[in-house]
Amino acid sequence: MNPVNYLYLAALLFTIGATGVLIRRNAIVVFMCIELMLNACNLAFVTFSRMHGNLDGQIIAFFTMVVAAAEVVVGLAIIVSLFRTRHSASVDDASLMKL
Amino acid sequence: MSFPLLTATAALPAVGAVATAAVPAARRTAAKWLALLVSLATLALAITVLVRFDPGGARYQLTESHAWIADFGVRYELGVDGIAVALIALTALLIPFIILAGWHDADPLETGSRRWRPTQGFFGLILAVEAMVVISFEATDVFLFYIFFEAMLIPMYFLIGGFGDRAHAQGEAAASTQRSYAAVKFLLYNLVGGLIMLAAVIGLYVVAGNFSLQEIVQARASGSLHMATSTERWLFLGFFFAFAVKAPLWPLHTWLPNAMQESTAPVAVLITAVVDKVGTFAMLRFCLQLFPEASKWATPAILVLSLISIVYGALLAVGQRDIKRLVAYASISHFGFIIMGIFAMTSQGQSGATLYMVNHGISTAALMLVAGFLISRRGSRLIADYGGVQKVAPVLAGTFLIGGLATLSLPGLAPFVSEFLVLVGTFSRYPVIGIIATFGIVLAALYTLVLYQRTMTGPVKPEVSAMPDLRARELVVVAPLIVLLIFLGVYPKPVTDIVNPAVKQTMSDVHKTDPKPSVEAAK
Amino acid sequence: MENLIALLIAAPLLGAAVLLVGGRRLDRVGHWVGTLLSATSFVFGLILFVDLLGKNAEHRTLIKHLFTWVPVAGFQADVTFRLDQLSMTFVLLITGVGSLIHLYSVGYMEHDERRRRFFGYLNLFLAAMLLLVLADNYLLLYVGWEGVGLASYLLIGFWQHKPSAATAAKKAFLVNRVGDMGLSIAIMLMFTTFGGFAFGPVLSHATEASEGKLTAIGLMLLLAACGKSAQVPLQSWLGDAMEGPTPVSALIHAATMVTAGVYLIVRSGAIFNAAPDAQLAVTVVGAVTLLFGAIVGCAKDDIKKALAGSTMSQIGYMVLAAGLGPIGYVFAIMHLVTHGFFKAGLFLGAGSVMHGMNDEVDMRKYGGLRTYMPVTFITFGLGYLAIIGFPGLSGFFSKDKIIEAAFAKGGTEGWILGGAALLGAAITAFYMTRVMLMTFFGEKRWQPDENGNEPHPHESPRVMTIPMIVLAVGSVFGGAFFSIGDRFLHWLEPVTGHSEGHSPVGAWTVTGATMVCLLIGVGIAWAQYGRKPVPAVAPRGSLLTRAARRDLLQDDFNHVVLVRGGEHLTRSLVYVDHTLVDGVVNGTAAGFGGLSGRLRRLQNGFARSYAVSMFGGAALLVAATLLMRAV
């Protein structure tokens, strides 16, 4: 199968993720969309690795997974503490950081 | 290795500044005495520099050179020529008077004030400014100079913004607002100038590969360093802009009246008599030496700007209602003369300009400090609030008049010699500009005498009728300045002897010779 | 002997320093210290004079180099003094008349609590004036030139609590500064032309320079002389200068300082001789001023201002003579000296009258004073006869010579200048007779003032009358002494040079015409003020009289054009500086402030809107990269 199709898939996943980040208000959904974008990138890395015939992309994909795992831990903790204080998981409610 | 005299002259007030600021809160008076002592010791060091300096010797003397930031070719290089020696002596001389004149300016208004040890800070900041000014005069490394040229702004900012005249017509809150406006304006103007200069400094490094003034000048003279005409002009403009803001030259002058008006009289003297001199000094040292061709290229424009400064400053001084603003505009007019002398490119003009820097420092100090004593007595800066002071405080009025006469360059007092040299030097190359500049002497008489007439003569106003005459401390400040004004007016030779060789060098740097008298030329 | 020249200046300078710095503890002796030091200077002058007389006419120049003043490459100014016949004449006049006036002031200023300071200023004036005439280069002369201006400023404004005095002092200094501008430009021109400004090199090489340069130098020197000597168009300060104490008017504004302009022109004779256009300008200024001053003098009721107009006019004569070149230099100086005697005497007489009349200056409130103050009357009368040129008295000799010289210039110019000088003589006779008649003759016209104090005219004390008597003796015999055997001519000739002109009219014809003019002037004055009683309130007068009372409208002109115009200019400049120059900068600052205020709204705190800008930015970058690659 032509590896370029994987790239199309990756671009599609990334766009879906990005759109989700921009239009959804629920922090959990936004968070999942970010994960989706990360995994789209992983897919692209692995595909490129396959196309170029070296392992760099696969290694980067592992790094990304590690970072994503760390991010999930911190991100979920923030969301939970937000929900506890505000009783809402909407990202628009946390808009105090403005001038 | 010999004793690093130049470093010591700059380091002593720096150490003194820290020590003064560290004096415990309760020992205010001790801090004042410490500051005075340090400034006197610095004066002693400056006199040592003056004595050790040999006018007939090498161009830069007492040099020190150490590697500093090796990667960028930045060196800690100090050295003085005659012009720098004269200005270091002036700075070291004026600071004790400034400290003494401001003896009570920073006393806390009430005990238990919330402000943090203002007295110690005030005198510490003055010493810090002295240290930075002195090292700016000494630095022969462009980068080193730049650092202290800019760093000077920090203590000055706090001195202008933090300390003002006691009494204010609109109350303390309004005074505080105006002070911070003046301080911010001062800072922004000078920062903009400084940043443009920084770009030029980096540009110079890119072209020349190091920051050493002497090396660059030598390389240019020997032809090993070629600079494209346009590059030289851009770099020149970058340097000149910063110095013209500091000097200040029309139309970059508007920060000075605000800064001098809002700060206390001693700080105003510090600004105009000491700090601003770095600008004109740097034009002589850096602009002319590093960029001789570009300097000549820019001369006509600069002469016209300085001419505008002279006439415009004097006319605006006539129109002022505030004593300190009047002195500020008079200073702008005088700085016009100094810059005109530098760029007239004649020996008379440049010697006159250097002498003018020294004399203007002394004469403005005399006039402004007496004005400060006057203002502190009545609690108003407005000319209209005074009248008939001569009758109740004759000594104060007399010293004020002498300060004023020095400002209008009365022959016999020091500024006359320098002003005439500048005029002659300009006239011999640019007759029309010289003649128009001569109108400045009429206008100077106008603003000085109008000021004297409105404040000192006429019937005694009831508000000033109980005004005390000069006190002993104030007399100690003013009397030596007046003696100096008379001495240098009658016998300026000690200063000109030091300055002349340096001016000769600068003239040869820019490849200019004085015009010949027409009778001789005809032969 | 040369060292004495420096001491000549040092004595009054020391006096000034001691009296001004010494403070109140010197109040009781200060006036005598000042007088003594002034007299010391006079004695030094006499010793030097005797020494000069003992030498050959060619060797009567003493040079004393004191020290190098301003040494800058190519620009050498020295403190060097030159004593020759010309400066010697001035030294004797200044110290002699100066000492007499010091003595007079001891009495005149007796009740002034600031008398010590007054004498300090007087001594300062003497020192500066001596420096002016003894300097060997123009720059040093300039120091003295401004020094006398400063002393004049301090003394006119001596009664500073009077706003009029303070204003008059300021005006005098400012108008003089305009003249000083001329002097400094002249020195600069000399420097660029001759490479220096010492008398020797400049004057001996004068002929080598181009005539254009010399004319420019000459005109600038003339401007300087106009300022100091109150010549048209810079004459307006002299009338107001009468606000100062009367001894000051006598010494500074009649006998010595105001004649400095004449000294300058005569001293620079070599330059003027080679610049005929400049000379012509000098004569025109002199002729115009001598008529101007005389006309103003006719209309004033204030005795001092009438005398001030007269001073202006008499100096006009001197300037006219100085402009005639070698035919007139000697006579300019001779008239200057005799004028120093009689005008100082007249002013001291006026001071004595005021002293006895509670400081009243309006002549319409005098009248018949000859019986109350006989000594003043006689000395003033002798001065009067001298100034109108009564045969045998000083003014007769010196003025007659100037009129002759004016005719001797030849051509149409000669006729015009000579005619002006003759007309001036007639007007002089008129206004001086008017002063004399209104003051000393007729009915007494004084009345009690608003406090009910009626003046009790009385003769002044001995200390004041003695100087008046000495000056009166000088006014009577001075001219004859100088003229018989042409003593003065032979004395000055080596310095100034002299040539006899070719007068189209005989000397006796001129003398006769002068006498006729004199008689006409006296006759008209007698008809108006002698035969009829003088009204105590000034009549409205003709248009000319009213204009002359206002100094021929010059002050009005100055006020409207210079003062008002200047005020508008400075006010609008202050406005421009605030709104335009400062406004540009403040506007830039405000612009940045406004911009950042707008940009701030982008920071709305919504995480999603930040994300949009991030994606937008990323997309832009990608697009830009692609675009760059495509190009």
> How many domains does chain C contain in total?
2
Question: pLDDT tens digit string along A2-27?
Answer: 889 999 999 999 999 999 998 888 88
Query: In the structure, what pLDDT confidence band is assigned to residue C546 with cuts at 50, 70 and 90?
Result: confident
B407 pLDDT higher than 80: yes
Q: Which residue has the higher pLDDT, C185 or C557?
A: C185
pLDDT number for residue B29: 86
Query: Do the Cβ atoms of C346 and C355 come closer than 8 Å?
Result: no
Question: pLDDT tens digit string along B59-118?
Answer: 888 888 888 888 888 889 999 998 999 999 999 999 999 999 988 887 776 554 455 457
Instruction: Tell how far CA C527 is from the center of its chain.
Output: 34
d(CA C186, CA C5): 27
Question: What separation in angstroms does the CA of A58 have from each of A6, A51, A67?
Answer: 15, 12, 14
Cβ-defined contact of C160 to B459 (cutoff 8 Å): no
Of A22, A30, A96, which has the smallest distance from its Cβ to C605's Cβ? Answer: A96
d(CA A33, CA A15): 10
Q: Which of B6, B25, B268 is nearest to B144 (CA)?
A: B6
Cβ-defined contact of C72 to B491 (cutoff 8 Å): no
Number of Cβ within 10 Å of residue C23's Cβ equals 12
d(CA B122, CA B107): 9
The torsion angles phi and psi of C606, rounded to 5 degrees, stand at: -85, 120
pLDDT number for residue B168: 55
Question: How far is the alpha carbon of C619 from chain A, nearest alpha carbon, in Å?
Answer: 12
Q: Which of B296, B132, B325, B274 is nearest to B229 (CA)?
A: B296
Residue numbers in C near B319 (CB within 8 A) = 570-571, 573-574
d(CA A93, CA A99): 16
C280 Cβ contact list (under 8 Å, min separation 6): C323, C413
The torsion angles phi and psi of B344, rounded to 5 degrees, stand at: -70, -20
Alpha helices for C357-461 (secondary structure H)? 374-388, 394-408, 411-440
Nearest chain A residue to C609 by CA: give it: A22
Question: What separation in angstroms does the CA of C72 have from each of B131, B418, B444, C77, C196?
Answer: 31, 11, 25, 9, 12
Q: Which residue has the higher pLDDT, B441 or B168?
A: B441
Q: What is the pTM of this model?
A: 0.88
Within this chain, do residues C522 and C430 fall inside the same structural domain, yes or no? yes
B64 Cβ contact list (under 8 Å, min separation 6): B4, B6, B7, B76, B77, B78, B79
Question: What separation in angstroms does the CA of B472 have from each of B469, B476, B479, B484, C251?
Answer: 10, 6, 10, 19, 37
Q: Is residue C123 part of a domain?
A: no
Query: Do the Cβ atoms of B334 and B317 come closer than 8 Å?
Result: no
Question: pLDDT tens digit string along B110-162?
Answer: 554 455 457 888 899 999 999 999 999 999 999 999 999 999 999 999 998 88
Query: In the structure, what pLDDT confidence band is assigned to residue B331 with cuts at 50, 70 and 90?
Result: very high
Question: pLDDT tens digit string along C121-131?
Answer: 999 999 999 99
pLDDT number for residue B522: 63
Q: What is the CB-side half-sphere exposure of residue C188 using CA atoms within 13 A?
A: 29
Q: B173 exposed, middle or buried (CB, 10 Å; 0-12, 13-18, 19+)?
A: exposed
pLDDT number for residue C88: 92
Within this chain, do residues C488 and C572 fall inside the same structural domain, yes or no? no
Provide the token pair at C110: 């007796």
Query: Do the Cβ atoms of C231 and C261 come closer than 8 Å?
Result: yes
Find the mean pLDDT for residues C444-465: 81
Which residues share a beta bridge with C80? Answer: C65
B84 Cβ contact list (under 8 Å, min separation 6): B137, B138, B281, B285
Q: Which residue has the higher pLDDT, B170 or C403?
A: C403
C8 pLDDT higher than 70: yes
pLDDT number for residue C528: 85
| Count of positions (residues) in chain C | 631
**Chain C CB within 8 Å of residue A94 CB:** yes
pLDDT number for residue B171: 67
**Chain C CB within 8 Å of residue A91 CB:** yes
Query: In the structure, what pLDDT confidence band is assigned to residue B2 with cuts at 50, 70 and 90?
Result: confident
Within this chain, do residues C528 and C574 fall inside the same structural domain, yes or no? no
CATH says A4-86 is which class?
Answer: mainly alpha
The torsion angles phi and psi of B76, rounded to 5 degrees, stand at: -90, 90
The torsion angles phi and psi of B62, rounded to 5 degrees, stand at: 55, 35
Q: What is the CB-side half-sphere exposure of residue B414 using CA atoms within 13 A?
A: 27
pLDDT number for residue B112: 47
Query: In the structure, what pLDDT confidence band is assigned to residue C551 with cuts at 50, 70 and 90?
Result: confident
d(CA B18, CA B305): 40
Within this chain, do residues C342 and C423 fall inside the same structural domain, yes or no? yes
Ramachandran area for residue C198 (φ above 0: left; ψ -120 to 50: alpha; else beta): beta
- Domain locations in chain B as residue ranges: 292-515
Cβ-defined contact of A21 to C608 (cutoff 8 Å): yes
Within this chain, do residues C292 and C436 fall inside the same structural domain, yes or no? yes
Ramachandran area for residue B409 (φ above 0: left; ψ -120 to 50: alpha; else beta): left
Beta strands in B128-266 (DSSP E): none
Query: Do the Cβ atoms of B182 and B163 come closer than 8 Å?
Result: no
Find the mean pLDDT for residues C443-462: 80
Question: pLDDT tens digit string along C286-306?
Answer: 999 999 999 988 888 888 999
In one-letter notation, the amino acid at residue C506 is: G
Provide the token pair at C203: 């004057």
Ramachandran area for residue B112 (φ above 0: left; ψ -120 to 50: alpha; else beta): left
Neighbours of chain B (3+ CB pairs under 8 A): C
Q: Is residue C151 part of a domain?
A: no
Question: pLDDT tens digit string along B5-55?
Answer: 899 999 999 999 999 988 887 788 888 899 999 999 999 999 999 998 888
pLDDT number for residue C28: 85
d(CA C321, CA C318): 5
Nearest chain B residue to C579 by CA: give it: B254
Question: pLDDT tens digit string along C239-288?
Answer: 888 988 999 999 888 889 999 999 999 999 999 999 999 999 999 999 99
Provide the token pair at C524: 């008209």
| Count of positions (residues) in chain B | 523
Neighbours of chain C (3+ CB pairs under 8 A): A, B
Alpha helices for C79-137 (secondary structure H)? 85-108, 115-134
Query: Do the Cβ atoms of C501 and C413 come closer than 8 Å?
Result: no
Alpha helices for C205-275 (secondary structure H)? 211-228, 236-240, 246-250, 260-267, 269-273
* Most B-contacting residue of C68, C72, C228 (CB-CB within 10 A), to test interface: C72
The interface pTM score, or ipTM, of the predicted complex is 0.90
What are the DSSP calls for B392-416, one per residue? H-HHHHHHHHHHHHHHTT-TTSHHH
Provide the token pair at B352: 């006159």
Q: Which of C489, C504, C537 is the last residue of a domain?
A: C537
Helix/strand/coil for C123: helix
- Domain locations in chain A as residue ranges: 4-86
Identify the domain containing residue C311 by its residue range: 282-537
In one-letter notation, the amino acid at residue C405 is: A
* Most A-contacting residue of C599, C604, C606 (CB-CB within 10 A), to test interface: C606
C215 pLDDT higher than 70: yes
Helix/strand/coil for B76: strand
Full 3-state SS string of B11-54: HHHHHHHHHHHCCCCCCHHHHHHHHHHHHHHHHHHHHHHHHHCC
pLDDT number for residue C142: 94
Instruction: Tell how far CA B463 is from the center of its chain.
Output: 34
Which residues share a beta bridge with B283? Answer: none
Query: In the structure, what pLDDT confidence band is assigned to residue B297 with cuts at 50, 70 and 90?
Result: very high
Of C600, C605, C615, which has the smallest distance from its Cβ to A95's Cβ? Answer: C605
pLDDT number for residue A98: 63
C76 pLDDT higher than 50: yes
Residue numbers in B near C143 (CB within 8 A) = 411-412, 416
Q: Is residue C409 part of a domain?
A: yes
**The residue to which tokens 């415009």 are assigned:** B312
C301 Cβ contact list (under 8 Å, min separation 6): C362, C363, C364, C538
Q: What percent of chain C has pLDDT over 70?
A: 100
Question: pLDDT tens digit string along B163-205?
Answer: 877 655 566 677 788 888 889 989 989 999 999 999 999 999 9
Find the mean pLDDT for residues A67-96: 87
Residue numbers in C near A17 (CB within 8 A) = none
Question: How far is the alpha carbon of C174 from chain A, nearest alpha carbon, in Å?
Answer: 60
Residue numbers in C near B433 (CB within 8 A) = none
Provide the token pair at B181: 């406006």
pLDDT number for residue B67: 86
pLDDT number for residue C2: 81
pLDDT number for residue A11: 94
The torsion angles phi and psi of C425, rounded to 5 degrees, stand at: -60, -40
Query: Do the Cβ atoms of B280 and B360 come closer than 8 Å?
Result: no
Which of these ranges, A92-96, B225-229, C23-27, C391-395, has the smallest mean pLDDT?
A92-96
Of C73, C181, C570, which has the smallest distance from its Cβ to B318's Cβ? Answer: C570
pLDDT number for residue C29: 86
Find the mean pLDDT for residues C104-120: 89
The sign of the dihedral angle between the CA atoms of B127, B130, B132, B134 is: negative
Beta strands in C43-91 (DSSP E): 62-72, 75-83
Of B351, B398, B423, which has the smallest distance from its Cβ to C188's Cβ? Answer: B423
Query: In the structure, what pLDDT confidence band is assigned to residue C57 with cuts at 50, 70 and 90?
Result: confident
**Chain A CB within 8 Å of residue C611 CB:** yes
